[in-house]
C-alpha cells in the first residue's frame, strides 16, 4: 500500500513539475492523456465553470463531468447545467445525488444545514463524490488561486487524502484571464453572477458579496466554514 501511495506521489510531483507553467489547455490535454479513461472533471456549473468546461469539450467532449446535485441548488444552476451542457456538446455529464437512505435518516426535512453544515455537506457532497471517484485515478477541478486566501498556494497537481491525483488547470489564471476567455468564446454567464454572486453553491449557504471581498466570502457567510469538504488534500 505504501509503495502504491509513493508511486501516486511520484507521479503527481512529476506532473506538477511538467505542468506548473503550462497553459490551462495544455494542462487539461496532458492530464486526459496521462489517465486515459480514468479521469473525470468535477464541475459545479457555477460562476466561472463555463471556461473549464469549454476547454474540456474542445479536447474530449465525452469526458465524464461529475455534477453534485445536492437537492439544494438554485433553480438557475439546474437550468444553466442543462443549457451549457447542450451548448458545449458535452455527452457525459453525470448528476451525483445523495444516498436517499442517508437523507431520510439524517435530513428528512432538508434542514440539516441549519444545525450542521459539515454533516449536510458530508451527505450531500462528500459521500456522493467519494463514491463516484472510486472509479477514477484522477480528477480535474476548476479551483483558482485568486478565489480566496485559503487557495493562494494551490498547486496545478496535488494528491487528496484518498490517494487520487487532482489537477487544477486554472490554478495560475487571474479573474481577468478567465473573463477574457469567456468573452472571446462568447460563453454564457451563470445568471446569478449579474446579481452579485461571484461563487455559487447551495441556496441556503450562498449570499451575494460586496465589491472587493473574497469571491468565496458569500459561501457559509457568518460561519468559520470555508470549504464543503470535497477539497481536503495534502500537498505532495
Binding site for ligand SF4 (CB under 6 A): 70, 72, 113, 117, 120-121, 124-125, 201-202, 204-205, 228
Closer Cβ to ligand SF4, 124 or 151, answer by number:
124
**CA-CA distances (angstroms) from residue 173 to 51, 87, 180?**
11, 24, 11
Least distance to ligand SF4 from the beta carbon of 203, Å? 8
Report how far residue 32's alpha carbon sits from residue 3's, in angstroms, rounded to the nearest whole number.
24
Inter-CA distances, 226 with 88, 134, 206, 220, 221, Å: 30, 25, 11, 7, 9
Whether 228 is catalytic = yes
CB of 185 to ligand SF4, least distance (A): 29
Closer residue to ligand SF4 in complex, CB, 81/125? 125
Q: Is 56 strand, coil or helix?
A: helix
Q: Which of 152, 132, 131, 123 is nearest to 226 (CA)?
A: 152
By C-beta, is 16 or 48 nearer to ligand SF4?
48
C-beta of 183: minimal distance to ligand SF4 in Å? 30
Phi, psi of 223 (to 5 degrees): -125, 175
Residues noted as catalytic: 228
Amino acid at each position: 500500500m505504501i509503495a502504491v501511495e509513493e508511486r501516486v506521489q511520484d507521479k503527481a510531483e512529476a506532473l506538477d513539475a511538467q505542468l506548473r507553467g503550462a497553459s490551462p489547455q495544455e494542462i487539461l490535454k496532458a492530464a486526459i492523456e496521462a489517465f486515459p479513461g480514468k479521469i473525470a472533471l468535477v464541475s459545479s456549473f457555477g460562476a466561472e465553470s463555463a471556461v473549464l468546461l469549454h476547454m474540456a469539450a474542445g479536447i474530449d467532449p465525452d469526458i465524464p463531468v461529475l455534477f453534485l446535485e445536492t437537492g439544494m441548488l438554485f433553480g438557475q444552476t439546474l437550468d444553466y447545467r442543462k443549457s451549457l451542457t447542450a451548448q458545449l456538446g458535452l455527452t457525459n455529464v453525470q448528476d451525483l445525488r445523495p444516498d436517499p437512505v442517508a437523507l431520510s435518516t439524517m435530513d428528512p426535512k432538508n434542514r440539516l444545514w441549519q444545525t450542521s453544515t459539515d454533516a449536510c455537506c458530508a451527505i450531500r457532497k462528500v459521500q456522493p463524490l467519494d463514491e463516484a471517484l472510486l472509479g477514477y485515478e484522477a480528477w480535474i477541478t476548476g479551483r483558482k488561486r485568486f478565489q480566496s486566501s485559503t487557495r493562494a498556494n494551490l498547486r496545478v497537481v496535488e494528491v487528496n487524502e484518498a490517494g487520487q491525483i487532482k489537477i487544477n488547470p486554472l490554478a495560475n489564471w487571474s479573474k481577468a484571464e478567465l473573463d477574457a476567455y469567456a468573452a472571446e468564446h462568447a460563453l454564457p454567464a451563470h445568471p446569478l453572477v449579474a446579481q452579485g454572486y461571484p461563487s455559487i453553491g447551495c441556496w441556503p449557504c450562498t449570499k451575494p458579496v460586496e465589491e472587493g471581498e473574497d469571491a468565496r466570502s458569500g459561501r457559509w457567510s457568518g460561519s468559520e466554514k470555508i470549504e464543503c469538504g470535497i477539497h481536503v488534500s495534502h500537498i505532495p
